[in-house]
Amino acid sequence: MLKTIPPIERITHMYELVSPVKPLVVLKYLSILVIGAGAMLLVPLIVALYFSEYTIAGTYILIGSVIILLGSLFHRLLPEGELEWKEALIIAAVIFPFAALLSAIPFTFSAGMPFLDAYFEAVSGVTTTGLSVAPATVGPAFLFARSWLQWVGGIGIIIIILMVFIPPGTSAHRLYAINSPETPLRPGVTATAKLLVQIYCLLTVVSFLILVAGGMPAFDAVCHALSAVSTGGFSTRADSAAGFAGLTIPFLITISCLMGAFNFSLYPRIIKDKNALLSDIQFRYFLLFAAIGILLVFFTLTETMNPAEGLSVASFQVISALSTAGFSTVDIGTLPDGTKAVLTVLMWVGGSVGSTAGGIKILRLVILLKVVHLVFIRYFLPREALTPLKLGKDVIETEMVYNILTFVFLYSLVLVCSSFLFMLYGFSLDNALFEVSSALGTVGLSCGITSAAMPDILKGVLIIDMLLGRIEIVPLLILAFPRTWVKK
């Protein structure tokens, strides 16, 4: 059995979904997550007080306190119960749109945005996308809050709450299995959650230090460290990484994005085995896709940029798209169609399973390539020959292949339908596909479509795409499945 697999492929008890969920159990554990989400809302309060944005600070205090009190009340009143897989799936589907809803309220007050725009910004934050409809004049508390939201969404809200609020047991194990693609790195899931958060915090500190050392102001470095390691892409500058002069800071931002785009389980293994990085199949394929992408983008830029500038832009934007970070050093809308086409494909690919990156994920694509290879090999072998599908030394089960094919099909279907809706509003196919790919891959690059002036319907489409991309489609669809709630 392959150990490093996407979360939904790890669920071996899907038969439980034939019976409806227990709403009180879902609410019991959701109340714990509400308490944690309320506590996280209090963090931007510190920044608001530091910059004397007292009205915004008061908003965060009020909303955070009310949410914590309501969560505590529901937790005390609701009966105890163990989560089954179906309840864990529901919680995974609900927590991201709900956390975005809570964060949208202070966003509305701090930036004077319509609530739909504020919710768009909050969803873009918690899903680590980075598409923005915020005005250019927002204050530092808003800039920090959305980067903080990306940082929390990057590691996973439930992973953080598992570390603090939920005691070890069956429910904790199932919440971890739904939200993390890795087998536990330590004997218990709580210990594993703590280790993952420790690694995440360490990478963030390293990112902050190298950005400050590279000449970035401290506040900007904090925000960019939060959004780079989470491969989120929100910047304190309206023109993203292009707002910083020279090549040093964009290079350091790239390093920070790469730290978040690789499988987190690699870091403990690297300490024990220096060859662990190069032996990781996802890392090797990431380098392959990046190298091919840089060559192709460089080729498409030869007529519009000199070689030095073209190589710089190609390297930064390819890593930004493939890691799904979404920073930019150029106006994406001015790039040639060929360049945008390559970046679109890279946004479909995404980063490693077990990282903060989005997209289809390298591991899924590698397994599909293995399937194609096996199909061709079978033509040259006797029918009775046994040819198991293997990745390294691990045998890939048929059920996992079915799940991956289903996910890729659903991903493609959402991509096509969403792009078609954009085309109905007059956008060209290439630009519509680019924008939707960015949202569904939780990337954040924009060719100029995403703005406050965008029709509300299209904002809603991108909101759904961002949520589907972060939650990975299946849990959100199960949430809308009638049998989830009503016994047939």
Q: How far apart are CA 448 and CA 454, in angstroms?
A: 10
* pLDDT of 39 strictly over 90: no
Whether residue 471 lies inside any domain: the answer is: no
Instruction: Note the residue count of the chain.
Output: 488
Whether residue 118 lies inside any domain: the answer is: yes
pLDDT tens by residue, 270-279: 888 878 888 8
Whether residue 110 lies inside any domain: the answer is: yes
Confidence band for 266, pLDDT divided at 50, 70 and 90: confident
- pLDDT given for residue 6 in this prediction: 42
Q: What mean pLDDT comes out for the span 443-451? A: 94
Whether residue 406 lies inside any domain: the answer is: no
**Can you give the residue range of the structural domain that contains 292?**
7-349
pLDDT tens by residue, 356-403: 888 999 989 999 998 888 888 888 777 777 777 887 777 888 888 888
Whether residue 126 lies inside any domain: the answer is: yes
Q: Are 240 and 329 in contact (CB under 8 A)?
A: yes
For the chain, what is the domain count?
1
Alpha carbon 101 to chain centroid, angstroms: 17
- pLDDT given for residue 15 in this prediction: 45
Of 217, 207, 214, 189, the closest CA to residue 258 belongs to: 207
pLDDT tens by residue, 170-209: 666 666 666 665 555 555 666 777 788 888 999 999 999 9
∠ CA 257-400-95, rounded to 5°: 55
Confidence band for 115, pLDDT divided at 50, 70 and 90: very high
Percent of the chain with pLDDT over 90: 48
Whether residue 391 lies inside any domain: the answer is: no
Whether residue 407 lies inside any domain: the answer is: no
Q: Are 450 and 435 in contact (CB under 8 A)?
A: yes
Whether residue 324 lies inside any domain: the answer is: yes
Q: Who has greater pLDDT, 47 or 173?
A: 47
